[in-house]
Amino acid sequence: MTGETMTGKVVVITGGTAGIGRVTARELARRGAAVVVVGRDRDRGGQTVAELNALGGTGCGAFVQADLSVMAEVRRVAETVTGAWPVVDVLINNAGGMFGRRILTPEGIEATFALNHLSYFLLTDRLLPALRQAPAARIVNVASHAHFGVRLDFDDLQSARRFGGYRAYKRSKLCNLYFTYELARRLEGRGITVNALHPGFVATDIGLRNRWVPRSLWRLFTLFAIDVDKGAETPIHLACSPEVVSVSGRYFFEKRPVRSSAVSYDQAAAQRLWEISADLTEIEA
Ligand SMILES: NC(=O)c1ccc[n+]([C@@H]2O[C@H](COP(=O)([O-])OP(=O)(O)OC[C@H]3O[C@@H](n4cnc5c(N)ncnc54)[C@H](OP(=O)(O)O)[C@@H]3O)[C@@H](O)[C@H]2O)c1
C-alpha cells in the first residue's frame, strides 16, 4: 500500500464504520489524518473512533451519526463538519446499500437512489466550501463495476413502476459515474479533483445489511470475494497518493484508471441527472 503522510489533513468518509470504508478510515488515520467518520450505528461509530485514536501518531478519529438516506440528515452532517472542520482535504463518498424491496425514506425517496446517489450529490455540494479551502482537495466516489449493463430510466429513476433490488443498485452505481464525470467538468481548474472507483468484489456485509439476500447465500457468494484490506487499496490510493494529485474525472480499478461503461460517458444523461438531483435535494443546479 502507498505510505504517503496525511498529517495535518482532514478526511471525511461516509460509511466509515464497516467494510471497505472502515479499513480506508483506519489506513488514512494511520498515515496521520484526522478522519471524520459518518455512519448510522452509534456503537460501531464509537468502536471505529476508539480504533483510530489508538493508532498513535498524529492520526485521530471523530464520529458523526446520521442516516444518509435522509437528505435533512445529510445537511446536518455537512453543517456539523464545516462547523468543526472549516477545511476538508478529502471527501470519500462511500456509504452504500442494497435493498431487497422498495423502501421509501421518510422524505419519500426510494432508498437505494437516496443513499447511494443523492447522499453523494448533496454532501459533496454542502462540503464544497470547506474543500475549496484546502490547497489540493480530493473527492473520491466509491462506485462499482455493477454499473455495467444498465442505463437510467429517466421516467422511473426511483423504480416506482418496477423494482428490482440489484437493478436499482446497478443504476445507483451508474449515477455515481455520471455524478463524478459531471462534477469533474464543473470543477475543472478549481483545485479540486474528483474520481470514482470499483473496489473489487469485497467480502463485506453489504448484501446482508438491508436483507438483500439470505445470509447463507451471501456467505456463499463472498467465498469468491477479496478481503476488505485489498478492497480498500484503491480508495486509499485515490485519497492520498501523489500519483493522482492532479488526475480528475477518471474511473479506477486496482489503483489504475480504467474505462467505465460506454453509457456512463453520456454527457447529456449526466447533465439531466444533475438537474433532477439538484431539484430533489433543493440545491441550485
Ligand atoms: N462489497 C463489495 O463487493 C462492493 C463492490 C463494489 C462497490 N462497493 C461499494 O463500496 C461501498 C462500501 O460498501 P461495503 O461493501 O464496504 O458495505 P458495508 O460493509 O455494508 O458498509 C457500509 C457502510 O455504510 C454505512 N451505511 C449504510 N447505510 C447507511 C445509511 N443509511 N446512512 C449512513 N451510513 C450508512 C454502514 O454503517 P452503518 O452500519 O452504521 O449503517 C457502513 O459503515 C458502497 O458504496 C458499495 O456500493 C462494494
- Give the rounded distance of the alpha carbon of 106 from its chain centre: 21
Mutate to test the pocket of ligand 1, among 94, 169, 205, 254 (most ligand atoms within 8 A of CB): 94
The CATH architecture assigned to 10-281 reads 3-Layer(aba) Sandwich (3.40)
Q: Is the pLDDT of residue 3 over 70?
A: no
Find, among 63, 55, 12, the residue nearest to 31 by Cα: 55
Taking residues 209-225, report their average pLDDT: 86
For 155-190, write each residue's pLDDT tens digit. Answer: 999 999 999 999 999 999 999 999 999 999 999 999
* Tally of CA atoms within 13 A in the half-sphere of 28 that contains its CB: 35
Is residue 178 part of the annotated active site? The answer reads no
For ligand 1, is residue 69 a contact (CB within 6 Å)?
yes
Give φ, ψ of 276 to 5 degrees: -65, -40
Which residue is it, cell 463524478?
180
Tell me the whole-structure pTM to 2 decimals. 0.98
Find, among 23, 57, 54, the residue nearest to 37 by Cα: 23
Ligand 1 atom 45, closest CA = 96
**Do residues 142 and 197 touch, judged by C-beta distance below 8 A?**
yes
Handedness of CA 197, 201, 203, 205 (dihedral sign): positive
For 39-96, write each residue's pLDDT tens digit. Answer: 999 999 999 999 999 998 999 999 999 999 999 999 999 999 999 999 999 999 999 9
Residue type at 93 in one-letter notation = N
**Do residues 128 and 191 touch, judged by C-beta distance below 8 A?**
no
Find all residues with CB under 8 Å of 235, minimum gap 6, and list them.
20, 21, 24, 92, 94, 140, 142, 197, 199
For ligand 1, is residue 110 a contact (CB within 6 Å)?
no
Nearest ligand 1 atom to the CA of 37 is 43
**Cα of 94 to ligand 1 centre, how many Å?**
6
Q: Is the pLDDT of residue 210 over 90?
A: no
**Cα of 126 to ligand 1 centre, how many Å?**
21
For ligand 1, is residue 205 a contact (CB within 6 Å)?
yes
Find, among 25, 23, 32, the residue nearest to 4 by Cα: 32
Mutate to test the pocket of ligand 1, among 107, 148, 171, 204 (most ligand atoms within 8 A of CB): 204
> Which of the 8 DSSP states describes residue 245?
T
